[in-house]
Amino acid sequence: MSQAPGAQPSPPTVYHERQRLELCAVHALNNVLQQQLFSQEAADEICKRLAPDSRLNPHRSLLGTGNYDVNVIMAALQGLGLAAVWWDRRRPLSQLALPQVLGLILNLPSPVSLGLLSLPLRRRHWVALRQVDGVYYNLDSKLRAPEALGDEDGVRAFLAA
């Protein structure tokens, strides 16, 4: 089927999970992989494998609402045959070989709020960036929809900010 003359091509379908509880690590994994492969239960199982003898698991929230650490993300990726490569932000972004990267998972400071009230606290939040059909997207689970960053220069500008 061909498009009508002058019609704009439809934008690519970009998988994007929205924030629920403290599951930003799970959402970041699924968003960077562009499909729902992980759940809270799967992340909890990884936590148990990482610390089988712990009464209070050091890899997640004490409340059981998520807040998973980097070890859970790395183990999840390793289980798929993928590797997480650390990036030292003191290195120039020009050295980041984006064409060789499936996606990026960032741990960023995030403001804390209760409804409309913003508190003077900061927590850490996992965010995914990924290229889909030549366009890089910010797939932060706190966003209503994916945010197009553009090409490699757009990603580098986002990372620099």
Residues with a known catalytic role: 24, 125, 140
What is the helix (H) or strand (E) element at residue 129, kind and residue range? strand 117-132
pLDDT of residue 123: 74
pLDDT of residue 110: 77
pLDDT in tens, 43-86: 999 999 999 888 889 899 888 788 999 999 999 999 999 988 88
**Per-domain residue ranges for the chain?**
23-160
Closest C-alpha to 67, from 78, 77, 56:
56
pLDDT in tens, 62-72: 887 889 999 99
| CATH code reported for the domain at 23-160 | 3.90.70
> What is residue 155's three-state secondary structure?
helix
pTM: 0.85
